[in-house]
């Protein structure tokens, strides 16, 4: 049922944006940003419940919390980068949006390095020689 509410708000916002873009383009950008923030805020509770379940499963499986924390950071960077990029694109700043996407990818690669190193070290221990 929640998706129906989100779709309804999105459709109303889209219609308002179509009207506003012709008359007041700056206000259309502001409305788009406000809509994005409302949806993001609305979903924060859902994200928090997902994180708590993942944390509980990590503890049960006795997985190193470092890896879990790193994965959460990577997911956070991916979602925030996409969110910021979308806002920039809505504002017509496609070049800025591309730079945000590029920066997000580099940060994700840097965050993933310790996991990659741990995997390679584990493989090296398994190999004879």
In whole angstroms, what separates CA 74 from the centre of its chain?
Answer: 9
What pLDDT does residue 9 have? 93
Q: Which of 48, 79, 106 is nearest to 87 (CA)?
A: 79
The count of other CB atoms within 10 Å of the CB of residue 47 is: 13
What pLDDT does residue 1 have? 65
What pLDDT does residue 66 have? 83
Residue 117 clears pLDDT 70, i.e. is over it: yes
Query: How do residues 59-96 score in pLDDT, each as one tens digit?
Result: 888 877 888 889 889 999 999 999 899 989 988 899 99
Radius of gyration of the chain (CA): 20
What pLDDT does residue 99 have? 97
Higher pLDDT, 10 or 128: 10
Three-class secondary structure of residue 91 per DSSP: coil
pLDDT band at 129 (very low <50, low <70, confident <90, very high): low
What pLDDT does residue 54 have? 85
């Amino acid at each position: 049922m929640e998706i129906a509410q989100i779709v309804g708000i999105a459709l109303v916002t889209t219609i308002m944006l179509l009207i506003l873009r012709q008359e007041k383009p700056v206000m259309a950008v502001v409305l788009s940003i406000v809509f994005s923030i409302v949806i993001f805020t609305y979903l924060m509770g859902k994200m928090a419940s997902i994180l708590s379940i993942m944390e509980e499963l990590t503890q049960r499986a006795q997985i190193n919390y470092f890896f879990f924390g790193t994965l959460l950071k990577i997911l956070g960077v991916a979602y925030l980068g996409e969110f910021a990029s979308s806002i920039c694109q809505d504002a017509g700043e496609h070049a800025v949006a591309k730079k945000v996407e590029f920066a997000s990818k580099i940060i994700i690669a840097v965050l993933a390095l310790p996991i990659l190193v741990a995997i390679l070290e584990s493989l090296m221990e398994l190999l004879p020689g």
